[in-house]
A = this chain, B = another copy of it.
């Protein structure tokens, strides 16, 4: 079976085909031929084979049991609250399971890379075909259809970046046709602070926000439901190891501070944004809700899918504080991204969701997650365990590969035609948007991030009374 000592360690790795030459931290937990004794983990197309092992926070549906951390395996979840009390773990792993059994992913995240990998190897060994822990651990499994999920961890601060250069360019074109990309874009990983309190897990309904908007043909603004509600397809990078206030993280060390990745839908009310955003940036246009996929896929699970940061030769090199050769060669992940839509009419008619667009995270990104960590901490700012860094909208180079309706419809002017005859410039009530992410590479087992879904509910009443005491 698998032992911790079998770790290959980092270094150059040749895939089965021998063509891939990226520096990666690959160990035996990534081997493509690992099979789990959980049958659904071996099904073709599952996002959660034994090579993935993402963390989530859950409880059984319709119970008030304490939230606990689980690990997805096929269509089941390994309940770490129950698993902690089974036999077969080393003393170290038993210690690591303590906060997880208590539902506190942040405490585990704060430990950094080495404990995370140790637990990964232990879980991989326990779930592996032929494991002598199978009988004990089998009792700790619950069907994903029987659980509800919360945010995977407490998010202290949420920062949203703007690393999608094609999105930045196409969104900029709508305002500045001759000069779409601002002069700072290729030097500064542009970002802004988002709202942590209104982050919600996949499945939570999202109401169309009310807000101030002003049409160009009106002298004064008005308050009411947004008419230009949009989604934004992003990845969310979670911070693990924190840095103390006043202690920047070097680009060489930044990877050690990253824990894992989720899908993130940064819902945006374009009409509210257009009226409010000068001079301090987006605020009410974004903070009514942001949806996060519930399974946090670790940096370790993504190692086989590392990809280089590809920039045109004419572009400036990153400033030295953001430059690390290894990061440039392998600091991104090859993640295929898809956005699906199902309107209310499609649901009624029994029509399946249809794919609005497809893009590649590594192709879309102008900055690596490590560069975001280093830039964010370069002034001494402290990132805490559980903090979330949004990638910004990850649109591909062609308009049809866009991660937002703003781009797909050229600013709300060219409708998207759906197969059932419906058209969309922006989202309508009842539309369900599903983001999906998968990782494929020859020689490795494919994994996925699962889905990030929400349905647009109608706007709230304009004024709600009775909140005070």
The chain A residues found within 8 Å of chain B, CB to CB, are 111-114, 156-157, 159, 162, 172, 182, 184, 187-188, 190-198, 200, 207, 209-212, 214, 220-223, 241, 243, 245-250, 252-253, 255-257, 269, 272, 275-284, 287-289, 316, 319-321, 375-376, 378-384, 387, 460, 462-469
Cβ-defined contact, B223 with A463, below 8 A:
no
Nearest B-chain residue to A226, judged by Cβ:
B379
Least CB distance, A399 to chain B, in whole angstroms: 20
Contacting residues, chain B, for A468 (C-beta < 8 A):
112-113, 241, 249, 253, 255-257
* Candidates B156, B162, B196, B460; contact of A248 at CB < 8 Å: B460
A462 to B111 alpha-carbon distance, docked (Å): 25
Least CB distance, A111 to chain B, in whole angstroms: 8
> 15 pairs across A/B with beta carbons < 8 Å?
A156-B196, A162-B280, A184-B214, A184-B275, A192-B192, A192-B283, A196-B196, A197-B245, A197-B383, A197-B384, A222-B319, A241-B468, A256-B468, A288-B379, A321-B463
Cβ-defined contact, A223 with B465, below 8 A:
no
Least CB distance, A247 to chain B, in whole angstroms: 5
Cβ-defined contact, B248 with A469, below 8 A:
no
* Candidates B157, B197, B211, B257; contact of A379 at CB < 8 Å: B211
Cβ-defined contact, B379 with A287, below 8 A:
yes
Cβ-defined contact, B195 with A276, below 8 A:
no
A380 to B463 alpha-carbon distance, docked (Å): 10
New contact pairs (4) apart from A188-B221, A241-B467, A252-B465, CB-CB < 8 Å:
A114-B469, A195-B381, A210-B378, A287-B379
A24 to B238 alpha-carbon distance, docked (Å): 47
Nearest B-chain residue to A200, judged by Cβ:
B245
Cβ-defined contact, A380 with B460, below 8 A:
yes
Contacting residues, chain B, for A252 (C-beta < 8 A):
465
Cβ-defined contact, B198 with A463, below 8 A:
no
- If A210-B378, A381-B195 touch, whether A281 touches B284 (CB-CB below 8 Å) is no
Cβ-defined contact, B250 with A380, below 8 A:
no
A13 to B220 alpha-carbon distance, docked (Å): 37
Contacting residues, chain B, for A272 (C-beta < 8 A):
379
Cβ-defined contact, B157 with A467, below 8 A:
no
Contacting residues, chain B, for A378 (C-beta < 8 A):
210-211, 223, 284
Contacting residues, chain B, for A198 (C-beta < 8 A):
245, 380-382
- If A320-B223, A467-B250 touch, whether A212 touches B195 (CB-CB below 8 Å) is no
* Candidates B243, B284, B469; contact of A256 at CB < 8 Å: B469
